[in-house]
Structures are given as structure tokens and as C-alpha cells.
Amino acid sequence: MEALRQPHAFPGKLIVVEGIDGSGKSTQLQLAMRYLQAKGLGPFFTEWNSADLVKAVTKKGKKKMSLTPMTFSLLHATDFAHRLVHNILPPLKAGMIVLADRYVYTAFARDVIRGCDREWVRKVYDFAPRPDRAFYFNVPIDVSVSRITGGRAKIKDYEAGMDLGLAADRISSFKIFQGRILEEYARIRDEYGLTEIDATQGIGEQQRIMRQMIDETLADWQPPHETLDQEREYA
């Protein structure tokens, strides 16, 4: 677990967002990406569960409700390893800014609530570099439910933790499942120093705070071309 507790040595910057479904984390990250693009910084975006092969297997397993907690966890770990090697480390090594919609902390929260051992899950991801800034968007369950149900037809089975038999209907199960994830996120926030943002605030206010903190995180960062120029100068 040393990698997640020590600053990484890459010239780029890794900024991630975390939070339960309906917290608004993805919206805020997209706005932050536009902010950086407007400044000409060209950030690289990556998201959870994005490897095509793993996504296909996970989708099939979810449909049949046949995934055990450990299988589900290992599939996501496989996806993350692929994502790290192909979508995170290359731009970080090149000195770019990487924006990640969910990171290892998602697994730390969800997999533990599904029944996996807390230390085991952490060891599975012990190869992951520490983010330069990890935002945690904290939102009450009722607000989360209201946002999700107001934006689409229904809550998905695994999103609601229906595989755990917590309640007969999706809404009740969602509240129990995501409520437990909130409790786990509180532990993760303290353990790994996540930057908490009150996700009940207006979108503009959350983004203002996020941009200010991103600017602080990038204060000692140099665009790749400047880094190369300095290397040539001192060569």
C-alpha cells in the first residue's frame, strides 16, 4: 500500500473524483475538464469500468446476477489495471494532467460493502499511484435518489445492491446499499486524505471550489513542452 501513501514520481498530475451515484462527481469533473481545456492545458480523461473486454464480461454477469463479491471485485481490478497501463501512466509519464472519473477508492468502498475483506481489497490495488488530488463529493442519500430518479427511468440492480438482498424494492435497497458506501467513504476520506466537497451546494459553487483547488494542485506543475525545454537546457 506504499504507492497510495507516497507522492508519485511522474511529471504529470493525477486528479480524481469519488462519490456515491447521484453525487454529481462526473458533472463536476467534466466542467473541470472544460476549464482546463479553455486554459489550453489539454487534460486526459479516463473513467471506471472502461476496458471493452472486461465491460462485456461484467455486463453479462450482472444480467444473470451471477457475480460473487470477489469475482466482481477482481473484474474491476482487472479493468483498473488495464486502465492504469493504457490510460493513466502514459500521459502521467508524458507530463500531462490526467482526470479520472473514479479511482481505486470506488473499489475500497463498494467491494467492502459487498462483503470483501477491507485489507484484501486494498492489497489488490497496491500498485496504484497516489493521486495528486482526490475529490470526494459527499451527498445525503435522499438527495442522491432524487437526482437519479429525476434524470432517468429507474435505478439499476447492481447500483441498488439488489444482489445483496437488502430490500425487496430498488429504492429501499439503494438507500441501504449506498448509505453503507457513504459510511465507508468517510473512513477512506480520513485514511487517504480525500478532499471533501459538500455536493448539496449549487453546481457553480462546487465548481468554483474545485477549480481553486485544482489550480493549487497544479501550482508546481509544468506543461510537457516546458519540461522538455528545461531538460534540453540542462543537458
DSSP track, 30-46: HHHHHHHHHTT---EEE
Q: Within 10 A of 69 (CB to CB), how many other CB atoms are there?
A: 18
In a domain, 226, yes or no: no
User: What pLDDT shows up at residue 231?
Assistant: 36
User: Tens digit of pLDDT per residue, the chain (235 long)?
Assistant: 578 989 999 999 999 999 999 999 999 999 999 999 999 999 999 998 767 766 677 777 666 666 788 888 898 899 999 999 999 999 999 999 999 999 999 999 999 999 999 999 999 999 999 999 999 999 999 999 999 888 765 788 888 888 888 999 999 999 999 999 999 999 999 999 999 999 999 999 999 999 999 999 999 999 887 544 443 433 3
In a domain, 234, yes or no: no
* CA geometry: angle 58, 63, 64, nearest 5 deg: 100
- 18: part of which helix (H) or strand (E)? strand 13-18
**How many domains does one find in the chain?**
1
User: What pLDDT shows up at residue 62?
Assistant: 64
DSSP 3-state of 169 = coil
Using CB atoms within 10 A of its CB, is residue 165 exposed (0-12), middle (13-18) or buried (19+)? exposed
Domain of 69, CATH number, reads 3.40.50.300
In a domain, 63, yes or no: yes
Question: Closest Cα to residue 70, out of 114, 17, 32, 105?
Answer: 114
In a domain, 231, yes or no: no
Structural domain harbouring 130: 11-219
In a domain, 235, yes or no: no
Identify residue 31 by its one-letter amino acid code.
L
Alpha carbons 154 and 135: distance in angstroms, whole number: 27
User: What pLDDT shows up at residue 230?
Assistant: 40
Whether 164 and 224 have beta carbons less than 8 Å apart is answered as: no
In a domain, 162, yes or no: yes
